[in-house]
C-alpha cells in the first residue's frame, strides 16, 4: 500500500529514527512501512495518523487497481 509517510516525515525534518521513537516502534518498521513492504495494523495506523494530525486515508493511499477490482 502506498503512503505519504516519507513526505510527512520530511516536512518535519524527522529522521526515520525520530519517527520510530515517537511511535514506539523500530526504525526498520518505519522503513518497511514507508517503502510499502509492510502495511501497519489499524491501531498503528491510527497512532501514525494521530502523530501527524491527519486521517488514516490522508496518509495511506488506496491502491488504484484494488479500487477498480
Partner 1 sequence: MTNASRNPAYRRYTGRMIPLSLAYVGAVGLASWLIPDGAAANVATVAIALVPGLAALGWIWAMARFLVELDDEYLRMLEIRKFLIATGFALAITSVWGLLELFTNVPALPIFFVWPLWCVGLAVGQLVNWRQTGAAGCA
Using the contact rule CB under 8 A, the part of the chain among 2-10, 28-36, 52-60, 61-69 near partner 1 is 28-36
Kindly state the number of chain residues that form the binding site for partner 1, as judged by CB under 8 A: 18
In sequence order, the 6+-apart residues with CB closer than 8 A to the CB of 27 are 16, 17, 20
What CA–CA distance (Å, rounded) separates 17 from 60? Answer: 20
Residue 44 touches partner 1, criterion: CB under 8 A: yes
Report the largest interatomic distance among the alpha carbons of the chain, rounded to a whole angstrom: 37
What CA–CA distance (Å, rounded) separates 37 from 30? Answer: 10
Residue 27 touches partner 1, criterion: CB under 8 A: yes
Nearer to partner 1, 38 or 64 (CB): 38
Residues that bind partner 1 (CB under 8 A): 16-17, 20-21, 24-29, 31-33, 37-38, 40-41, 44
Amino acid at each position: 500500500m502506498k503512503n505519504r509517510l516519507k513526505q510527512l516525515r520530511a516536512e518535519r525534518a524527522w529522521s526515520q529514527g525520530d519517527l520510530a521513537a515517537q511511535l514506539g516502534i523500530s526504525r526498520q518498521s518505519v522503513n518497511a512501512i514507508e517503502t510499502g513492504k509492510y502495511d501497519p495494523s489499524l491501531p498503528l495506523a491510527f497512532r501514525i495518523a494521530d502523530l501527524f494530525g491527519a486521517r488514516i486515508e490522508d496518509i495511506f493511499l488506496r491502491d488504484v487497481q484494488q479500487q477498480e477490482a
